[in-house]
Amino acid sequence: MKFFNTDGIRAKAIDLISSNLVTKIGQFLASKSKRILIGYDTRESSPIIVDLLINGIVTQGVDIDIVGVCPTPLISYILQNEKYDYGINVTASHNPYYDNGIKIFDSSANKISSNIIEDIKNHLDMNHPFELKDLGKIRYINKYQEYFLSFKENLINNKLKIVFDLSNGAFSSFKDYFYKFNIKTINDEPNGKNINDQVGALFPFNLQKKVKEENFDYGFCFDGDGDRVILVTKDNIYDGDDLIYYLAKELNYQKVVVTKQSNLGLIKALEEKGIDVEVVDIGDIKVLNKMKEENAPLGGEASGHLLFLNHPYSDSLYSSSLLIKLLNEKSIYSFDKYLTFNKNINIYDKLYLQKEEIISFLESKFPKEQLLFRESGTEDVFRIRVQTLDASILEEVKIYFDNLENK
């Protein structure tokens, strides 16, 4: 069974709970630690998985601080400001409630390296005996206010009418902090099963209806663990590519890092403005590593992950607060986009068996730089993306897939 992917550990929650994997991960991390930080999102399975981690950690004599319901960026914030050997957030990010996962960070708030992941895998494959040691201590901490105050200055002078869609996720715990800044929140009442359920960053059209109905200036969609943001107005939806373009221009940045998933129009528009663009494989850790290597102040992904060298972890709330500060001075704008066609094929679908035929067909129609094929790192799907300026050939692609599915 596959548990590890591009964003840590992710699987069906029942598979994580019914295996001994979670406890063994706790034991492994404890063997290299004195103190570990743990948070979790609003899924009904998250507290159960936290208990399994606790069992593995405290029985090895290691102390734990538990933040409670916690957006992933809060884990990173605490790790940058206090001393822990590891930080863990139990979350499956934007996935449905019946999935769950474990994101693990090192003492510097970086996602753990591939070498540590391999060590964990090797540990899971071997039957290591663990002796019960003196029990570690468990402490519950609250860092919400400290974290929020770290960028409250961006919101103090807000005159815009704003709404946050909290996706019934981890940032729901912060809902009482926003009203003082002319920010309303919706989808802020998690029940264990409604996280990401037709709400949040994957469903911005639903927030757009709210923006129109109540005449908001802007709406911001978060995902379940609070590391993505999508911006909404009455007329448009602005993804990570749009926000990177706006931020790069408004902050006068001269270099940005994007991924192969970015719209080709973004790269063209940035380069036309004299802004250097570095393109890397998909994954926020790859973006951040390239930013550090090139000293690029901004990077991100179309999905809504935004990274800054001075705030080097993807944070829905920090990014939104910075955007709100800028939007009070200059309205949102974007670039001329390439037309796109996206297709996700479930690996258990009959179409997946025709993957090579599909790739050959598309490669015969488009230059390589206009195509993206990849196995998802977080879901059981094969992703296809086509970009073009020619609407007629894009229609031909849609017809091609319609015919395949109707065979």
DSSP state of 233: -
31 is catalytic: no
Q: How far apart are CA 70 and CA 91, in angstroms?
A: 9
Domain boundaries, the chain: 4-143, 151-327, 339-405
Say if residue 313's pLDDT is above 70.
yes
CATH fold, domain 151-327, is Alpha-D-Glucose-1,6-Bisphosphate; Chain A, domain 3 (3.40.120)
Say if residue 1's pLDDT is above 60.
no
Say if residue 234's pLDDT is above 70.
yes
E strands, 176-318, in order: 183-186, 218-222, 229-232, 237-238, 255-259, 276-280, 298-300, 306-308
pTM of the model: 0.92
Phi, psi of 201 (to 5 degrees): -65, -25
User: Over the chain, what is the mean pLDDT?
Assistant: 94
Tokens encoding 109: 């708030």
Give the residues across from 5 on adjacent strands. 8
The residue from 93, 167, 321, 334 that is catalytic is 93
Longest dimension (CA), the chain: 69
Q: Over the range 187-224, which residues count as b (16 or more CB within 10 Å of their CB) and which as e? A: bbebeeebbbbebbbbbbebbbebbeeeebbbbbbbbb
Say if residue 124's pLDDT is above 60.
yes
pLDDT in tens, 279-299: 999 988 999 999 999 999 999
Region 4-143: CATH code: 3.40.120.10
Share of the chain above pLDDT 70, in %: 98
Tokens encoding 326: 């800028």
pLDDT in tens, 173-203: 999 999 999 999 999 999 999 999 999 999 9
pLDDT in tens, 332-364: 999 999 999 999 999 999 899 999 999 999 999
The angle subtended at Cα 185 by Cα 180 and Cα 187, nearest 5°, is 160
Per-residue confidence at 125, pLDDT binned at 50, 70, 90?
A: confident
Compute CA distances 51 → 47, 58, 144, 156, 294, whole Å: 6, 10, 22, 39, 41
Give the model's pLDDT for residue 2: 65
Say if residue 7's pLDDT is above 70.
no
The answer to whether 9 and 28 have CB atoms below 8 angstroms apart is no
Q: How far apart are CA 289 and CA 266, in angstroms?
A: 21
The angle subtended at Cα 333 by Cα 175 and Cα 197, nearest 5°, is 40
Which DSSP string corresponds to 156-183? TT--S-EEEE-TTSGGGGGGGGTGGGTE
